[in-house]
Every structure is written in C-alpha cells, then in structure tokens.
Chains A and B, each alone.
Chain A
Amino acid sequence: MNNRLKVLRAERNWSQADLADALGVSRQTVNALETGRYDPSLPLAFKIARVFEQPIESIFSE
C-alpha cells in the first residue's frame, strides 16, 4: 500500500518525532509507515486522517 505521509508531514514542517507524538506511536513506526513497509491498522489510519484533516483515501492508495 502506498501513502502520502512523508509529503503531508513535509508540508507541515513536522519531524518524524512530531508526527509520532501526534499519533501516539514511536518514531520508528512513523518511519516504517512512510516507507510503505508497514500498513497501519484501521484505527491508526483513521487517527492519521484526523491528524492531517484529510480523508483516508486521499492519504492511502493501493
């Protein structure tokens, strides 16, 4: 699964640690998400959508 996490984070000038704090996960987890090598659970995907104030389908794609 592909995602736009890195782009969205860069647009806000957030570090991986900032995003990790906002999501309540570790920086390593944010890194794994950004590289597309770890697909988040549905609750975490919803949380990501809330943090970026965007619908899930605009962040994640197949």
Chain B
Amino acid sequence: MPSGKSIIPARGPGAFAVRMGMAAVVGLIAGVGTQIFGAMPGLLGFALTLVVNAVAMALAFVICIQWWKGIDEAAQEAHKWAWWWGGCTGMAAGGVLLLTALSREFERIDNLTANEILAMGMFLMLTCMIIGYGVAWAAWWAKRQ
C-alpha cells in the first residue's frame, strides 16, 4: 500500500458506515467517561466530565469533517437542504408537541429525576429533527432520480 494512503474509504456507503462506527465508539467512550467522572464529587468530577464530553464532541466533528470532504457536491447539497428544511420542520413539529404537552396537566412522575426529564425533552426534539432530516434527504434524492 502506498505510504500516506488511508485505509478508510473516502466515499460511498463504506465510508459512511466506517465513520458512523468511529462516531459510535467516541460516543460510547464519552458515555462511559460521563458515568465515571460524573460520579466523582466536587468540581474535579464536573471539570473532567466537561473535558471528556468536549473532547468527544471535537473528535466527532473531526470524523464528520473527514466524511464531508469525501462526498461530492450534490451529496453535500442534499445534506444541507435536508438539515435546513427537514431539521427545521422536525424541530417545529417537536416544538408543537412540547408546547402542547406543557399546556396540559400531567400526573406527577415521582420516579423520574430532573435530569431524566430534561434528557427526554432533548431526545424528543432530536428524534423529530432526525426524522425530518431523513425524510427531506430521501425526498431530495427521489426528486432527482
């Protein structure tokens, strides 16, 4: 193999799968790190949790940028269009759901912590955005076949 040539494919489904796998590993390390350092009391635990998550996010960005540079301009355009229109539409739908939920009186859920309720709200919004993104991305390509 020529020196300097990456073993990771630059484009295609293989490139996407490899980078998704790398991002998943980074996410797993961040999750384990958060569990370990989050359990430490005081400022040190907070600081280490912050650092491990910041480093993981930076690594995820590096992986994402590498993948972005490997795809062609039409693929980039599809993702940009999907992120704006699909992501925003999903966020709007999630916003409607959350605002509607806030207007209702729900029974108190005592077995959930504030952290868990916050995480559920984030997860709901993220899920709506990803669904919108996926639909918009598929629609962009379907229109151009």
Contacts and interface: CB of A to CB of B under 8 A. Distances in A.
A26 B11 contact: yes
Interface of A is mostly: loop
B144 A26 contact: no
A44 B144 contact: no
Interface residues of A, number: 14
Contacts of B12: 26
Interface string B101-129: 00000000000000000000000000000
Interface residues of B, number: 12
A38 B72 contact: no
Contact of B73 (A31, A35, A37, A40): A40
A25 B73 CA distance: 8
Contacts of B11: 26
